[in-house]
Amino acid sequence: MTKSSFSKPTESELQILQILWQDGPSPVRYVNDLINEKRDTDKKIVGYTTTLKLMQLMLEKGLVERDTTTRTHIYKALVDETTTQQNLVDKFIDTTFRGSAMKLVMQALGNHEASKEELDEIKKLIAKMEE
Amino acid sequence: MTKSSFSKPTESELQILQILWQDGPSPVRYVNDLINEKRDTDKKIVGYTTTLKLMQLMLEKGLVERDTTTRTHIYKALVDETTTQQNLVDKFIDTTFRGSAMKLVMQALGNHEASKEELDEIKKLIAKMEE
DNA sequence: GCAATTATACGATAAGTTTCGTACTTGTGC
DNA sequence: GCACAAGTACGAAACTTATCGTATAATTGC
């Protein structure tokens, strides 16, 4: 997959994908409810038809598919979570860190809490990379 | 700085900021030339007035300032590179990794080449975090 | 059976970003 | 001095994304 052939989901689309990845195939109502529950207090409620429209557009783009055998359509993510994350990370490194993955790692590592287990996991990965 | 009070630069604005951060205060012509030199082959050339307009808008937003004592105005970044990166990383972790900084670190680390020196630097940081 | 509820479809609008044409101004070369 | 090159200002169009109103269809409760 080249950089240019990867179509980046918008922030709203990504938010919906996150829910579908985490909770599995879901109806619009469920997704919309979650979005509103988790929103920052200062942001206003997203209307049901807004989420519906977004998910319909995602269907056209091939980001999701849906089961229409029941009246309440069930939407399912068609793009893979890890692959999408990887694409987004690559692009992010490019635009925000001028291509330096290690600068991103240092920045993310240095500014966020990490448990002993997480640090051990990272150390293990580094050891493997040094072989 | 709270999440909501941080105004995220657009991708075009970030591209311009990167140039100003890297090369220091620069005129519009210089920035526009660099953008076009570095662009992907499939993307078309960005007109001079387009870049000019973007930088004028960035001026209004307070992202840059300019020296107008000479005819050719010199633009300078007003926002700090590291601070901006930190803000963007935080937001990115939220939207793309559901808040897990460590998942981002693992992903970025595991999928990009790293020199021995870079790995050593990361190990040093981890050691410091373990104290 | 039918009123009320809940779902989808879809056009229109709003809002933000990017693009550029055109007018105007300032400096340069000869 | 003046034609030409190079700069800025700015309005407006083109695109993209997000939002919602309204119409319509299916389902449910009683």
Alpha-carbon distance values, A73 to A25, A32, A63, A96 (Å): 10, 13, 15, 38
* Statement: the CB of A28 is under 7 Å from strand C: yes
Report yes or no: B59 and B65 within 8 Å, Cβ to Cβ: yes
Point out the nucleotide closest to B72 (alpha carbon to C1′).
D7
Q: What digits encode the pLDDT tens for the residues B3-47?
A: 556 779 999 999 999 999 999 999 999 999 999 998 888 888 999
A131 or B97: which carries more pLDDT confidence?
Answer: B97
Residue A2 has pLDDT above 80, yes or no: no
Among protein residues, the one whose C-alpha sits closest to the C1' atom of D7 is B72
pLDDT of residue B3: 53
B111 or A4: which carries more pLDDT confidence?
Answer: B111
Q: What digits encode the pLDDT tens for the residues A16-32?
A: 999 999 999 999 999 99
Q: What digits encode the pLDDT tens for the residues A39-97?
A: 888 788 999 999 999 999 999 999 999 999 999 999 999 999 999 999 999 999 999 99
Query: Is the CB of residue B11 less than 8 Å away from at least one CB of chain A?
Result: yes
Distance from C-alpha of A61 to C-alpha of A77, rounded to nearest angstrom? 12
Please name the residue of chain B whose CA is at the shortest distance from the CA of residue A5: B42
Please name the residue of chain B whose CA is at the shortest distance from the CA of residue A3: B40
CATH architecture entry for B11-77: Orthogonal Bundle (1.10)
ipTM of the complex model: 0.90
CA of A74 to C1' of C4 (A): 24
Report yes or no: A54 and A16 within 8 Å, Cβ to Cβ: yes
Backbone conformation region of residue A98, classed left if phi is above 0, alpha if psi is from -120 to 50, else beta: left
CA of A39 to C1' of D23 (A): 30
Alpha-carbon distance values, B103 to A38, A103, A118, B96 (Å): 21, 16, 9, 10
Please name the residue of chain A whose CA is at the shortest distance from the CA of residue B105: A105
- Yes or no, beta carbons of A126 and B123 under 8 Å apart: yes
Distance from C-alpha of B47 to C-alpha of B54, rounded to nearest angstrom? 11
A13, two tokens: 């689309």
Report yes or no: A90 and A3 within 8 Å, Cβ to Cβ: yes
User: What pairing do the DSSP bridges indicate for beta strands A64-67 and B26-27?
Assistant: unpaired
